[in-house]
Structure 1
């Protein structure tokens, strides 16, 4: 067996190489570092006649909707098509069923999604990988923390670019499914 070249046997220290390259660079001197955290982003979609905030989540294997949102939109779902779900914290829950071919409008394109109904999530709709695959989503992030989704309708080849917005609290109430934005407390 041949001996490895010196560079592979004893690789340079990446921190030392960095400081040789950049010296005493500090954030703000055309030198960038990642933020400690960044807000979750979402897209607004039109489902039926209602605007619904959808949290974008590339790490989710399904498209999910809260039961309250489903009720407010009048969506029917098949309760025999349930699947188990595991949250990021390891908690196991199950879906209530699946609403088939739900039309979501994003700008001028329509996507027919299979939506798992769940209870009780911290969102109205969660757009997971099936949404990204169907729309061939291209996600562009900017140093300003802005983010754009470019979506393609595979049935019409229409393309739209939509800026995301910071995540909103769920709009629909569990108790009665009413849209929180239109709900006024009587005094």
Structure 2
């Protein structure tokens, strides 16, 4: 073995920052050597990172009477729900004895208004029947939670450009449909309530 190599191996306290022993052969890092000879070029990034934020995805549902609403896909929700405004626009009846305590993001608890059963909704070419919990004034028209995913055996495919499709299976007809998702829309059926101190208007006028 060369004397320089033997000297390096026998020096137990040799640190990485110390100069190599005389006569040692040093192999330069090829990337560092290239950048030294091409100072105007920056190394190309090899690491792909996520975006800071992306829009929540939704699909358009067609309800009775042809009324359309943006339905947010939320597999983290244990229920399917709609706003009171959408419920009133559809003229749906609901059972007020079935009430859930809904917890908002800030921890506040608000009771739901009731449950509307077997509401038909068309997505693409298939129709499914959902149990909607009615919420007084949420920041959405409708949310499709886990019961929707299980009923339709939904399969979501997300692409690198941020677009997304969802394939739904109709358990009643055995038909399937792939539906493109869209960025969520602001609620269109928010119920307009009178101001808290609005003057009473005589109904006889």
Give the TM bin, normalised by the shorter chain.
0.7 to 0.9
- Give the equivalent residue in structure 2 for 1:51: 68
Structure 2 spans left out of the alignment, 5+ residues: 1-42, 194-205
1:1-150 superposed matches below 5 A: 25-26=44-45, 31-48=47-64, 49-150=66-167
- Please tell me whether residue 157 in structure 1 is matched to residue 203 in structure 2: no
Runs of 4+ in 1 over 6 A off after TM superposition: none
Superposed displacement of residue 50, structure 1: 0.5
- 1:96-139, CA deviations, whole angstroms, 9 ceiling, x for partnerless residues? 00000000101111110000000110000011111111000001
C-alpha contact 2:137 2:190 (8 A) present in aligned 1: no
Superposed displacement of residue 146, structure 1: 0.3
Higher Rg of the two aligned structures: 2
C-alpha contact 2:154 2:168 (8 A) present in aligned 1: yes
> Hey, what's the Cα distance between the residues in 1 that align with 2:108 and 2:61?
29
Structure 2 length as normaliser, TM-score? Answer: 0.70
Higher RCO (CA < 8 A, seq sep 6+):
1
Structure 2 SS opposite 1:173: coil
Give the CA RMSD over aligned residues.
Answer: 1.4
Aligned residues: 150
C-alpha contact 2:141 2:190 (8 A) present in aligned 1: no
Structure 1 SS opposite 2:55: coil
C-alpha contact 2:84 2:135 (8 A) present in aligned 1: yes
